[in-house]
Amino acid sequence: MELNARIPAGPIEQKWDRHRFEMKLVNPANKRKFDVIVVGTGLAGAAAAATMGELGYRVRAFTFHDSPRRAHSIAAQGGINAAKNYQGDGDSVFRLFHDTVKGGDFRSREANVYRLAQLSLNIIDQAVAQGVPFAREYGGLLANRSFGGAQVSRTFYARGQTGQQLLLGAYQALQRQIHAGAVEMHTRQEMLDVVVADGRARGIVTRDLLTGKVESHSADAVVLATGGYSNVFFLSTNAKLCNVTATWRAHKRGAGFANPCFTQIHPTCIPQSGEYQSKLTLMSESLRNDGRIWVPKAKGDKRPAHQIPDDERDYYLERLYPSFGNLTPRDIASRRAKEMVDAGHGIGPMENGVYLDFRDAIRRMGKEAVSERYGNLFAMYEKITGDDPYEVPMRIYPAPHYTMGGLWVDYNLMSTVPGLFVIGEANFSDHGANRLGASALMQGLADGYFVIPLTIGDYLSQLPDGNGDAAAAFKDVEKEVRDRTDRLLSARGSRTVDSFHMELGRLMWDLCGMERTEEGLKDALERIPKLREEFWREVRVPGSGESFNQSLEKAGRVADFLEFAELMCHDALQRDESCGAHYRREHTTEEGEAKRNDEEFTHVSVWEHRGGDEAPREHREELDFEHVPLSQRSYK
């Protein structure tokens, strides 16, 4: 497996410009001759499909949703970053670049991050031109907020529904291209494999979720925009249908998987309330601006919060981090909460949370002011828990939220399989070992609107004439897909798909979640193959393969999670350091923080699938930090 990042030469601020000039162009008349497949119509995919259609490529887009208006992207609440410096508070492209590299704990590629910061400017222009109703100030100009501990206000937002409004903007642009005949849309179609022939991606094989029909689709290039894999933990803040299938199957066909163990945990989610809960709900991070986090000093203290006097409360973040207090970064706030709960200080009916208390904020600024800032969040919290946060402190606990890992891509966003491109959360991305708040929407849209539509031309313009015949390859893959479906249906065991998914999720959370150890990871690597074996023997998938069958859809996805989970643990084990969201207990500073090992681990780990019983093989892309000097984080 060759890893050539193809970073353009020249000063960092000129790389993208130069690259745009040096890339080969496809002349407009020839664009019609190229077929491009886009899998996934979330922010990244919808933006890419619409733009490539507009440029003249023949585009086919696929989603397993019933409409491209629905994708996980729609749930993003907080906002989107851009270095517009509309507030005049000292922001710049360089500062956004710098913050992203540092926030990612020095495990991302500088050239890509710089381009992302540059393109952030265009995204806001594009979205505004589409009519996205961003929040405005009284003078009619765009409003900003500061987010996730950033020192400048660079986050643009549309109430608490930024993801929704940006996705609808991209969706509408896509519908316009469908209307114009430039994009052919395939809804309720699940991609189940990539077809590679003569060393290049040649198309995909899908299953029609309504009829069960397995079909081949050939193209000159394939773009995956299929999102992240947080649902490997079963319980996460991701939409229920998010899964790893598309990227995992591509990995098995030769695409390197980069840093799969980099998964982000979000500190402010509503704790699990029962055994049968299906997903976790995120509460906006902004709540930490005014809420105070605490647990009772006494273990197992069952008194209601208001009966616990102040001197019996431990405001542990304020105690441990006097200067940042409740605003310490996501990973630190998460780990400290877990430690408190593990040590027996957990609160709530299941003793699985910590308090986020607005009592003092209400005393200080009055109920009305609190309600103005957080009213909708409080209402949502009450809807879910039945508790009124004005009276009773909120209960929160960390939950899996975002995956920085993904398929490895070069500067052109092409994977190690020529002709297979990966955009949005699905690629290993620009966020290194930890993503900053409001940066995922930015990356998905930069990839989709501005990068892929140009870089794909560089590949297509150099395709040799007369593509070799790939019919045989398609036939083989179709057969593999059908056989797999048949195997799932014919196991006829005694356990439901969800019961396996829950078991895997618990295992991953315990052993490869917020905190990892060599011992735990080795244990996971022993247990996952056994669980997978049991799955194939004992799973029960009712119904048939020739109709709408949600159990079958789930079964295929869980089968892939059961393979992927093992790779995640290999990666976490091999990365014998702590960095960003990846925390290995063995590597802790004296102050109890994550301890990086730059000597040995300033690289991207890219895994090659070898099949059978062979362990995956690791390859490395070394990272250079020329513009943001390596430094240790400190939040004391």
Partner 1 sequence: MRLTLHVWRQSDARDPGRFETYEANDISESMSFLDMLDLVNERLTEDGKEPIAFDHDCREGICGSCGMMINGVPHGPKTMTTACQLHMRSFSDGDEIWIEPWRAQAFPVIRDLVVSRDPFDRIIESGGYVSVRTGSAPDAHTIPVEKQAADEAMDAAVCIGCGACVAACPNASAMLFTAAKVAHLALMPQGAPERYDRVLSMVETHDEEGFGNCTNHGACEVACPKGISVDYIAQLNRDLFRATLSSRPANEAKE
Ligand X SMILES: Cc1cc2nc3c(=O)[nH]c(=O)nc-3n(C[C@H](O)[C@H](O)[C@H](O)COP(=O)(O)OP(=O)(O)OC[C@H]3O[C@@H](n4cnc5c(N)ncnc54)[C@H](O)[C@@H]3O)c2cc1C
Tell me which residues are annotated as active site.
330
* 210 interface partner picked from ligand X, partner 1, none, CB below 5 to 8 A per type: partner 1
- Cα–Cα dist 449/436, whole Å: 21
Which of these segments, 296-304, 314-322, 378-386, 526-534, binds partner 1 (CB under 8 A)?
378-386
Binding mask 181-220 for partner 1 (x = CB under 8 A): ----x-x----------------------x----------
User: Restricting to residues 94-133, which ones interact with partner 1 according to CB under 8 A?
Assistant: 122, 124-131, 133
* 113 interface partner picked from partner 1, ligand X, none, CB below 5 to 8 A per type: none
Q: Which backbone phi and psi does 544 adopt, to 5 degrees?
A: -120, 170
Note whether 238 binds ligand X by CB under 6 A: yes
User: Restricting to residues 386-445, which ones interact with partner 1 according to CB under 8 A?
Assistant: 386
User: Restricting to residues 428-487, which ones interact with ligand X according to CB under 6 A?
Assistant: 438-441, 444
**Tokens linked to 298:** 């006494």
Please state, as a whole number, how many other Cβ atoms lie within 10 Å of the Cβ of residue 332: 20
Note whether 538 binds partner 1 by CB under 8 A: no
Binding mask 124-143 for ligand X (x = CB under 6 A): --------------------
- Cα–Cα dist 411/108, whole Å: 12
Strands 603-608 and 617-622: antiparallel
Note whether 62 binds ligand X by CB under 6 A: yes
Of 37, 50, 150, 511, the residue at the interface with partner 1 (CB under 8 A) is 50
User: Restricting to residues 18-47, which ones interact with partner 1 according to CB under 8 A?
Assistant: 47
**Tokens linked to 190:** 């699940």
- Cα–Cα dist 323/284, whole Å: 22
Please state, as a whole number, how many other Cβ atoms lie within 10 Å of the Cβ of residue 178: 17
Note whether 216 binds ligand X by CB under 6 A: no
Name the E strands within 274-320.
292-296, 313-314
Of 1, 5, 25, 135, the residue at the interface with partner 1 (CB under 8 A) is 135
Which of these segments, 88-96, 224-232, 358-366, 562-570, binds ligand X (CB under 6 A)?
224-232
Note whether 231 binds ligand X by CB under 6 A: no
Question: Considering beta carbons, is residue 65 or 251 the nearer one to partner 1?
Answer: 65
What does DSSP assign to residue 181?
A: T
Of 18, 240, 319, 537, the residue at the interface with partner 1 (CB under 8 A) is 240
Of 191, 280, 572, 594, the residue at the interface with ligand X (CB under 6 A) is 191
- Cα–Cα dist 53/48, whole Å: 8
Three-class secondary structure of residue 486 per DSSP: helix
User: Restricting to residues 525-584, which ones interact with ligand X according to CB under 6 A?
Assistant: none
Strand-by-strand arrangement of the 313-314 sheet: 263-269, 394-403, 354-357, 292-296, 313-314
* 125 interface partner picked from partner 1, ligand X, none, CB below 5 to 8 A per type: partner 1
Q: How far apart are the first and last CA of the chain?
A: 43
* 159 interface partner picked from ligand X, partner 1, none, CB below 5 to 8 A per type: partner 1
Which of these segments, 59-67, 91-99, 298-306, 366-374, binds partner 1 (CB under 8 A)?
59-67
Q: Which residue in 245, 362, 345 sits closest to 295, CA to CA?
A: 345
CB of 48 to ligand X, least distance (A): 9
Which of these segments, 67-75, 342-350, 590-598, 602-610, binds ligand X (CB under 6 A)?
67-75
Note whether 273 binds partner 1 by CB under 8 A: yes
CB of 255 to ligand X, least distance (A): 14
Q: Which residue in 249, 187, 170 sits closest to 61, CA to CA?
A: 187
DSSP 572-602: HHH--S-BTTB-BTTSB-TTS-B---HHHH-
Of 15, 58, 69, 330, the residue at the interface with partner 1 (CB under 8 A) is 69
For residue 187, what are the CA distances in angstroms to 64, 226, 245, 278, 478?
A: 6, 14, 17, 25, 19
CB of 165 to partner 1, least distance (A): 6
Residue 450: burial class (beta carbons within 10 Å; 0-12, 13-18, 19+):
buried
DSSP 340-408: HIIIII-BTTTT-BEEEE-HHHHHHHHHHHHHHHHHHHHHHHHHHHS--TTTS-EEEEEEEEEE--EE-
Question: Considering beta carbons, is residue 554 or 570 the nearer one to ligand X?
Answer: 554
Applying CB under 6 A, the residues found at the interface with ligand X are 39-45, 62-65, 71-73, 75-80, 162-163, 190-191, 225-227, 237-238, 242, 245-246, 282, 401-402, 424-426, 438-441, 444
